[in-house]
Structure 1
Amino acid sequence: MHSTDRQVLDAVCRWADAGQRFALVTVARTWGSAPRPAGAWMALREDGVVRGSVSGGCLEADLIERMQAGEFTAGAAGVPVVQAYGVTQDDARRFGLPCGGRMDLVIEPRPDLGALRTLAQRIARGELVQRSVTLGEPGNRIAAGTAGDRVRWDGRTLSTPHGPAWRLLIVGAGQISSYLAQMAQALDYQVFVCDPREAYAAGWTVPGSTIVAGMPDDVVLQLKLDPHSAVVALTHDPKLDDMMLLEALKSPAFYVGALGSTVNSQRRRERLLQYFDLTQAEVDRLHGPVGLPIGSRTPPEIAVAILAEMTAVRNGVAPHVATFLAAAAAPQTPAAAAPAGA
């Protein structure tokens, strides 16, 4: 639950300023084929308006009905409570949950507005934050988070991570990088950009991203890449791209890619093996040409191809590369395009 955080928080802040009452609903735990994961978040206004989602539509109607009946906002306490759905087969059929699906929702009838505003401010600054609520106790706690945080629920206290859960280091501040940075932010990446070429770095204008000074290899070490990190080299300058790869391929980053044609990518692999302290297994981690070969030519299309491959790797889904390559190698019409990294 990250990309919707700002949308939900912006909505509840507006509702609070307008004097409207609302509740927050969070998926605490799921069993079986639940439609939304733990941590999914929804704000529910007293008149039935919602932001976010906890079930993709299965449970929202029931929650809206109960909210409009005053069930969640009645009483003076307004402390967090838990509501289970899908406990019985009849319950699952009634609410349209998949077979075997079950969910625990934590409902906050009167969330702490001050804490929510603080949360919104810290997320806007690109910070990772942990928010905790306890059943039967008013208010919530906001604390610094880390990239490895997960939703935690012990049946009484629910802790959820907020802010960018993933990091992306882009080497090169050119046009492709600009599109990639903007798209990546929409997918919950905290974006860092490194380009020692002053002419490029000076022209970087993507809001929310961070320019990191230094040479690419030093920046990789400085950021201490973890399994929630990705690195993409887009300078098309071997002197800079290879510097990044020397360190990134040794790191636990889940994705390391570099722009270049098929021929240049093969030469890069040979060069990394022959002249640098990298093993075959480390070099094999390199995604190059970077991105799925979907026929992209323009900078935004190449950015889409890169993010598509990153998403597949991130989700543990092996893209059908052979199919893509076969399509890319087939005779093309004039409107067709080359693979992404060409």
Structure 2
Amino acid sequence: MEDPEFSVLTRVRDWLDTGHRVWLVSVIETWGSSPRPPGALLAVRDDGAVAGSVSGGCIEDDLIRRIRAGEWPERPETVRYGVSSEQAFRFRLPCGGTLRVLIEPLHEASWLTPLLTRISQRQLVTRTVELASGRVTLSPGRRGERPVYDGERLHCPFGPHWRLLLIGAGQLSQLLAQMAQPVGFEVLVCDPRPGYRVDWPTGLGRWIDGMPDDAVSAISPDPRTAIVALSHDPKLDDMALLEALKSPAFYVGALGSRRHSALRRERLALFDLAPQEIDRLHGPVGLYLGSRSPAEIAVAVLAEMVAVKNGVEVRQLPPPLPADSPPEPVACGMGPACAA
């Protein structure tokens, strides 16, 4: 699945190649409950065709009206929506939210092909626009970088689509894959056990052949990759984790109860992993939601992944285990022990 902003830029390139004039609209600042975050893109063609979104529809209608009325700028210009209560009502911005957008006329876009090429090569790239001149420069991006507008320049990071590698192809993996795709993750699946591939739904992710450690190495994890071990087989899961925890993947998780997760950490410490690498492991995987079904566990895992992806600190913790509690069952994906 392509990143939405990558899709917009690809459409811009195609439109320019066919002789159309194009304006690129970027969300640069938001206040309150804005519909789209900074960095969101909308492309508007000279005939009113659009690609992408900055508001979900209301502001897009005004931008199309402006282009048809010949009101679009010939130089980069910022426009603020929702600044007054009348505007908030007119454009139906939720909760009185406000956003500022940058409108760029793309007379030429020599920066576009190099940007798309770097993204396709899974590189992080920062695009800088000087508002006074319209000049665009590209520079290497940094993990965790956010769009920044200083009144004179817009610095906006771009990167490849987000990926999720699932180790194991059981029911929980299928549910997580189904939920992760609409959120924007390309799903990859590895399970070397005979028979598991037979029941995997067609079109639900791309299979990576080989053993789990080989699969992790094969995809070359980067800061936009998540790896989650859900095979229920400690040998397979641990093989993947030994490679994943040494990689730049932004999220590495493994299914299991608290006690089994502690035992897994002890096993991992016997290999060439540093303590800080083992500390990266999300195990038990997912937010504690009291999950009692595979679907609820999948929700908990995806919620934690998205929180980490968005730079939100995950604070929710399960209640402590009583000192005299019986041993937890082996995590099976079918009960609260898997999220406990």
TM-score normalised to structure 1 length: 0.67
1:164 paired residue among 160, 167, 190? 160
Q: Which amino acid aligns with 2:264?
A: L
2:9 is matched with 9
Report the residue type matching 1:272 in the other structure.
Answer: R
* 1:71 paired residue number: 71
> Measured at CA, do residues 183 and 34 of structure 1 come closer, stay the same or move farther in structure 2, by a change above 3 Å?
closer
Q: Aligned partner of 2:105: which letter?
A: P
Preserved contact between residue 255 and residue 287 of structure 1 (Cα < 8 Å): no
Q: Tell me the residue number matched to 2:116.
A: 120
- 1:141 maps to what in 2? 137
User: What is the percent sequence identity of the aligned residues?
Assistant: 46
* Cα distance in 2 between the residues matched to 1:185 and 1:124: 19
Alignment of 1:172-321 (within 5 A): 184=180, 187-189=183-185, 216=213, 230-245=226-241, 255-259=251-255, 265=257, 268-272=260-264, 277=269, 282=279, 285-288=282-285, 293=291, 295-296=293-294, 306-311=301-306, 314=309, 316=312
Which residue number in structure 1 is paired with residue 128 of structure 2?
A: 132
Higher mean C-alpha displacement, 31-40 vs 301-310: 301-310
With the length of structure 2 as denominator, give the TM-score of the two structures.
Answer: 0.67
Q: 1:61 to 1:159 in 2, by over 3 A?
A: same
d(CA) in 1 for partners of 2:194 and 2:231?
13
| Residue type at the aligned position of 1:56 | G
Q: What is the CA–CA distance in structure 2 between the aligned matches of 1:103 and 1:290, rounded to whole Å?
A: 31
Q: Kindly tell me: are residues 177 and 48 of structure 1, through their superposed partners in 2, closer, same or farther at Cα, counting changes over 3 Å?
A: same
Q: Secondary structure at the match of 1:105?
A: strand
Amino acid at match of 2:3: S
User: Helix, strand or coil for the counterpart of 2:72?
Assistant: coil
Which residue in 1 is equivalent to 2:85?
Answer: 89
**CA contact 2:172–2:294 (8 Å) conserved in 1:** no
Correspondence for 1:58: 58
Q: Is the 8 A contact 1:128 1:162 kept in 2?
A: yes
- Tell me, in whole angstroms, the C-alpha distance in 2 between the residues paired with 1:126 and 1:147: 12
Cα 1:339/1:23, change in 2 over 3 Å: farther
- Aligned-residue Cα RMSD (Å) equals 4.9
Question: Residues 206 and 33 of structure 1: is their aligned pair in 2 closer, same or farther, counting only changes over 3 Å?
Answer: closer
Distance 1:284 1:257, change over 3 A: closer
Aligned equivalents of 2:285, 2:68: Cα separation in 1? 54
Structure 1 range deviating more: 152-161 or 282-291: 282-291
Counterpart in the other structure of 1:21: 21
The aligned residue for residue 326 of structure 2 is: none
Structure 2 CA distance for aligned equivalents of residues 3 and 291 of structure 1? 29
SS at match of 2:55: coil
Deviations 1:280-309 (A, max 9, x none): x95994135899857448xxx987774355
User: What SS class does the counterpart of residue 110 from structure 2 fall into?
Assistant: helix
Q: Which residue matches 2:97?
A: 101
Structure 2 distance, partners of 1:160, 1:259, is 36
The one-letter amino acid paired with 1:4 is: P
Q: CA deviation at 1:238?
A: 1.4
User: What's the secondary structure of 1:14's corresponding residue?
Assistant: helix
Q: Deviations over 1:55-112 (max 9, x none)?
A: 2223222211111112226xxxx32111122333333333333454222211002253
After TM superposition, give the deviation of residue 3 of structure 1 in Å.
2.4
Aligned length: 311
For residues 192-241 of structure 1, the C-alpha deviation after alignment (integer angstroms, 9 at most, x for no partner) is: 8888x6999xxxx9999897999849x69x97987x66331134431242
**CA positional deviation for 1:41:** 0.7
Structure 1: segments with no counterpart, 5+ residues: 323-336
The residue that corresponds to 2:35 in the other structure is 35
